[in-house]
């Protein structure tokens, strides 16, 4: 749940990486933990003339880091300075902002206070760390949104607040259409990026990290970049090793493979699969995207097992005649 008073509600999640004191703050850091397909509820302080859950949207990604982000610190002392803070900020795009037909305000929450507390108690009993609950029990009969920019929204709250039912996945088929992919984003998959410059920057970053791993970490004598039917040839570590490299701005648990990539890895060994995900993208106006970071994962002597492959598209031969 986002707590905000911004006018462009539902366009993205946008928060500084560090707070006004230059330290990490979980309410901002949670932006980087969101994933495409996640639903975001938006608590707005004034849109409806009162603080309330006004609507919801769906995250599409990719996550990026923006330099020169300016914001006014929250809290009494921060606002008293009346001077914006500047630094780096998280940006996670969203789409499909939808106003709630029945907004959820403090009066409605107060009427269900005991049930809300039961959800919080159950959550505290089931998790080891903080629950990052979206609501604060300010005083008996008065419930407010959390002061943090972003909070988690436990699934149990959907049972207490049926007004939010339209945001359930079954009720919003096809809502999460990513503007940069042209198709629905599937959480955990690499997806396709239509922005050619962004796609090339991510792929280049992944290849460079993989090359550095074989040269600097393993001590290979030579790494040759090929591209097709696989990305790298590694020499000097015993038998000549072929490497398939995949890159993504998301945290992924699946990658897309072409028929040729599967065939090559099946019939040539040793072949490694290298996946670099969670790559950060820095955007500057009018300039090519700049990448950084990323999580490097390696599967050595990789053979794609048939049980782990699932079709994502088909080539369909059109009939000879048409109506």
Alpha helices in the chain (DSSP H): 26-29, 76-81, 106-111, 113-126, 156-160, 196-212, 259-267
Distance, in Å, from the CA atom of 109 to the CA atom of 46, rounded to the nearest integer, reads 17
Please tell me the predicted confidence (pLDDT) of residue 209.
95
Beta bridge partners, 293, equal 279
Please tell me the predicted confidence (pLDDT) of residue 53.
96
Please tell me the predicted confidence (pLDDT) of residue 181.
33
Please give the domain boundaries of the chain with CATH numbers for all domains.
2-171 (no CATH), 196-308 (3.40.1350.10)
Strands (E), 61-179: 64-71, 85-105, 135-139, 142-145
Distance, in Å, from the CA atom of 312 to the CA atom of 259, rounded to the nearest integer, reads 12
Q: Token digits for 312?
A: 């994502």
Q: Do strands 222-225 and 52-59 pair parallel, antiparallel, or not at all (unpaired)?
A: unpaired
Q: Are the CB atoms for 283 and 93 separated by under 8 Å?
A: no
Length of the chain measured in residues: 323
Q: Token digits for 300?
A: 């050595």
Please tell me the predicted confidence (pLDDT) of residue 194.
42
Beta bridge partners, 98, equal 56
Vertex 229: Cα angle to 223 and 235 (nearest 5)? 20
Vertex 263: Cα angle to 261 and 265 (nearest 5)? 70
Q: Are the CB atoms for 186 and 177 separated by under 8 Å?
A: no
Sequence-distant (6+) residues with CB within 8 A of 4 are: 42, 43, 44, 45, 149
pTM for this prediction: 0.55
Please tell me the predicted confidence (pLDDT) of residue 68.
73
Average pLDDT value for the chain: 83
Please tell me the predicted confidence (pLDDT) of residue 285.
56
**What are the backbone dihedrals phi and psi of residue 27, each rounded to the nearest 5 degrees, phi first?**
-65, -25
Please tell me the predicted confidence (pLDDT) of residue 174.
37
Per-10-residue mean pLDDT for the chain, 323 residues long? 92 87 86 88 94 92 79 54 68 90 95 95 88 94 94 93 83 38 38 63 93 95 90 96 92 83 91 92 71 91 88 75 68
Tens digits of residue pLDDT in 59-69: 888 888 887 77
Give the number of other Cβ atoms within 10 Å of residue 157's Cβ.
22
Q: How far apart are the first and last CA of the chain?
A: 51
Q: Are the CB atoms for 144 and 51 separated by under 8 Å?
A: yes
Chain centre distance of CA 249: 8
Vertex 241: Cα angle to 238 and 247 (nearest 5)? 140
């Amino acid at each position: 749940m986002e707590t905000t008073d911004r006018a462009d509600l539902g366009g993205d999640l946008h928060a500084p990486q560090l707070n006004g004191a230059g330290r990490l703050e979980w309410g901002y850091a949670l932006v980087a933990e969101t994933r495409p397909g996640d639903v975001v509820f938006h608590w707005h302080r004034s849109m409806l003339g009162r603080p309330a859950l006004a609507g919801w949207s769906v995250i599409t990604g990719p996550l990026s880091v923006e330099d020169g982000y300016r914001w006014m610190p929250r809290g009494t002392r921060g606002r008293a300075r009346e001077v914006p803070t500047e630094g780096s900020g998280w940006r996670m795009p969203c789409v499909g902002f939808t106003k709630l037909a029945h907004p959820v305000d403090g009066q409605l929450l107060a009427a269900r206070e005991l049930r809300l507390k039961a959800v919080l108690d159950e959550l505290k009993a089931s998790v080891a760390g903080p629950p990052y609950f979206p609501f604060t029990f300010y005083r008996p009969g008065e419930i407010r949104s959390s002061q943090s920019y972003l909070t988690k929204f436990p699934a149990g709250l959907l049972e207490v607040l049926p007004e939010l039912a339209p945001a359930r996945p079954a009720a919003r088929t096809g809502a999460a259409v990513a503007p940069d992919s042209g198709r629905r984003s599937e959480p955990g998959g690499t997806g396709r990026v239509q922005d050619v410059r962004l796609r090339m920057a991510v792929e280049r970053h992944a290849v460079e990290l993989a090359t550095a791993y074989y040269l600097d970490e393993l001590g290979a004598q030579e790494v040759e970049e090929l591209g097709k039917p696989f990305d790298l040839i590694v020499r000097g570590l015993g038998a000549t090793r072929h490497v398939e490299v995949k890159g993504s701005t998301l945290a992924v648990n699946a990658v897309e493979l072409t028929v040729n990539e599967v065939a090559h890895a099946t019939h040539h060994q040793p072949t490694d699969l290298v996946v670099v995900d969670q790559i950060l993208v820095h955007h500057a106006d009018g300039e090519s995207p700049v990448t950084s970071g990323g999580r490097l994962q390696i599967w050595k002597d990789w053979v794609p097992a048939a049980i782990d492959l699932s079709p994502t598209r088909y080539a369909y031969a059109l009939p000879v005649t048409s109506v």
